[in-house]
Amino acid sequence: MNELTEIYQSMGISPAVYNYGEKTLELIHDRFDTIDRIAEYNQAKVLRAMQKNRVSAACFAATTGYGYDDMGRDNLEKVYADVFHTEAALVRPQITCGTHALTVALSANLLPGDELLSPVGAPYDTLQEVIGIRPSPCSLAEYGVSYRQVDLLPDGAFDYEGIRHAINGKTKLVTIQRSKGYATRPTFSVKQIGELIAFCKSIKPDVICMVDNCYGEFVETIEPSDVGADMVVGSLIKNPGGGLAPIGGYICGTQFCVDRCAYRLSAPGLGQEVGANLGLMPALYQGFFLSPTVVAGAEKGAIFAANLYEPLGYRCVPGAKEIRHDIIQAVELGSEAAMIAFCKGIQAAAPVDSYADPIPGDMPGYDSQVIMAAGAFVQGSTMELSADGPIREPYAVYFQGGLTWAHAKLGILMSLQKMVDAGLIQL
């Protein structure tokens, strides 16, 4: 395809980088077929839920003010509940991000004197201030909620004996982070999460199990809510928004838990009755409809990245041949210079702000400087082509997203090209 190589070359990708990418692709095409089959199943699952709940053009009407009797908003929540096989769902543009959704879920279901347990080690950086691990105004710790964690074993497995000893009379809620955050540990499969939930409930049957589902939606054919989770929580500018949702988050789970979340998000006594959609319904419905296909493209990009970088001597998590359970690909680059070069490549491949050079900087909620590359249509959308990471050992960059497989491929090739140009890699 001379036309393709010519346009890639005009964008700065050398023949050597392009050819290396093509050789890599020859090794992974069979895995792409499996991803496509999962996407087809999940697409049918979403479509069936939309048809069951009689989605119509009337669901796309904008509401303002209180948002009373918002048919489109209420129906979208029924669609989510059906897809995630839960009793109820809260899907709102008033939820600003994944951390906000998790904060709502935790603060709604934990009271003073309760204890929160993380059986999967330390949570993601921004959630540490929510909990109070790092002191912050309005943290759970300030309201009398204690916290305990059980670190993973050296091989990344659950420390079941440690968890058994950690669960006590005060343990009210168990929080399970499915994806790795800024840690180079494995992402948990839904099967593993189900086994962990069953173990926790065998010790304390009434304990609430919440799963931070960010980056994992639609990567498998089942979700944590299918294996016992009382709440699954995520962001609409990640997987389920399909790249179209401009803001929002979701909480799917038991009626009891979701009702409390709705009261915490709005006000006691109001709950899900209020919250105007502000004209965002078409994007939220269509983004959810497209999500299985968009997730599939992002997952292909992550597999391509691992298979591109691992043979060059870089540790990749998950490894090039491992089965994936989210869309994030961590690559340990070993230096700040390599992180900057990689992120410059992702930024240079973006449709928005491609001319900008990402540099490390301070970010709210993080205790290290962070570099972020994301030329996105939706600010901060990690469903779109992006890469980021804290400037600290082991200097790992976290690549994710890509609204299409072709764009994810281009971004990874461009990241490699910038590494070559900086003299960090020789092909």
pLDDT tens digits for range 97-141: 999 999 999 999 999 999 999 999 999 888 999 999 999 999 999
| Domains of the chain (ranges, CATH numbers) | 2-41+292-421 (3.90.1150.60), 43-288 (3.40.640.10)
The pLDDT value given to residue 183: 79
Provide the pairing of β-strand 329-332 with 315-317. antiparallel
CB 376 within 8 A of CB 350: yes
The pLDDT value given to residue 253: 98
pLDDT digits (tens, 9 = 90+) for 54-95: 999 999 999 999 999 999 999 999 999 999 999 999 999 999
At 350, give phi and psi (nearest 5°): -80, 150
pLDDT digits (tens, 9 = 90+) for 200-236: 999 999 999 999 999 999 999 999 999 999 999 999 9
The pLDDT value given to residue 327: 96
Segment 393-420 shows an average pLDDT of 96
Percent of the chain predicted with pLDDT > 70 = 100
Q: Which residues pair with 329 in a beta bridge?
A: 399
The pTM score is 0.95
The pLDDT value given to residue 326: 96
Say how far apart CA 72 and CA 414 lie, in whole Å: 41
Q: Name 421's Cβ contacts closer than 8 Å, sequence gap at least 6.
A: 341
Say how far apart CA 384 and CA 367 lie, in whole Å: 25
Q: Categorize the per-residue pLDDT at 185 as very low, low, confident or very high, splitting at 50, 70 and 90.
A: confident
Say how far apart CA 304 and CA 296 lie, in whole Å: 12
SS3 per-residue string spanning the chain: CHHHHHHHHHCCCCHHHHHHHHHHHHCCHHHHHHHHHHHHHHHHHHHHHHHHCCCCHHHHCCCCCCCCCCHHHHHHHHHHHHHHCCCEEEEECCCCCHHHHHHHHHHHHCCCCCEEEECCCCCCHHHHHHHCCCCCCCCCHHHCCEEEECCCCCCCCCCHHHHHHHCCCCEEEEEEECCCCCCCCCCCCHHHHHHHHHHHHHHCCCCEEEEECCCCCCCCCCCHHHHCCCEEEEECCCHHHCCCCCCCEEEEECHHHHHHHHHHHCCCCCHHHCCCCCCCHHHHHHHHHHHHHHHHHHHHHHHHHHHHHHHHCCEEECCCCCCCCCCCEEEECCCHHHHHHHHHHHHHCCCCCCCCCCCCECCCCCCCCEEEECCCCCCCCCCCCEEEEECCCCCEEEEECCCCHHHHHHHHHHHHHHHHHCCCCCC
CA 134 to mean position of chain CA atoms: 22
Segment 159-168 shows an average pLDDT of 98
Q: Name 204's Cβ contacts closer than 8 Å, sequence gap at least 6.
A: 167, 171
The pLDDT value given to residue 1: 61
Segment 270-277 shows an average pLDDT of 97
Nearest 5°: the CA angle 408, 409, 415 is 90
* pLDDT at position 367 over 90: no
Class of residue 4 by CB neighbours under 10 A (exposed 0-12, middle 13-18, buried 19+): exposed
Q: Categorize the per-residue pLDDT at 364 as very low, low, confident or very high, splitting at 50, 70 and 90.
A: confident
Say how far apart CA 275 and CA 73 lie, in whole Å: 9
CB 298 within 8 A of CB 408: yes
The pLDDT value given to residue 363: 81
The pLDDT value given to residue 198: 98
pLDDT digits (tens, 9 = 90+) for 5-52: 999 999 999 999 999 999 999 999 999 999 999 999 999 999 999 999
Q: Work out the mean pLDDT of the chain and round it to a whole number.
A: 96
Alpha carbon of 197 to those of 114, 186, 207: distances in Å? 19, 18, 10
